Amino acid sequence: EGDLWLVHGKWYNLGEFVQHHPGGPDWLLLTRGQDITEAFEVHHLNVPKVQHELNKYYVKDASEEYTGRYSWFDRGFYQTLKKRVAAHFKDASKTGRIMDATGPTNPFLALCAFALAVHFLNFAALLCWPCWTVAVLAGFTLQPFHGIGHNF
């Protein structure tokens, strides 16, 4: 079971899927052989779609001694909250797609473009006038990319 992943008391062999995971392979590679139920639940709003994909890799049920750390009852608090949040964002979207309501806003995209332009102008200035002050300024202009990267 060291080469499998446990989700809701079922073992899956995601080895073939790892390189195709939309969130990248790193996290899956680091969690091989572990119970990843919590992360599965909190990172996937469209559980039926994801569960359909996951079912392709089913291997076996966990032992009868297995008990998860949390309850994931369909009518429990977390599942109810998750469904209500998904419904809210689906209703908030003009297209009915959750991602359209939770994606970046136009002002945020403009801010991203501005941060990118400022960084590249500083980098160009550093190439023309190599000095430590411009290098430090160019380094500071990298900081916004940390936040930007977490929103896409």
What local confidence, expressed as pLDDT, does residue 150 receive?
Answer: 56
Torsion of CA 25, 30, 32, 33, to 10 degrees: -170
111 by Cβ neighbours in 10 Å (0-12 / 13-18 / 19+) ranks as middle
Q: What is the pLDDT of residues 136-152, one digit of tens each?
A: 888 888 888 777 765 55
The Cα diameter of the chain in Å comes to: 68
Section 48-72 average pLDDT: 91
pTM listed for this prediction: 0.59
**Rounded CA gap, 96 and 92, in Å?**
8
Instruction: Place 43 in a pLDDT band, splitting at 50, 70 and 90.
Output: confident
21-40 tens-digit pLDDT: 888 889 899 999 999 999 99
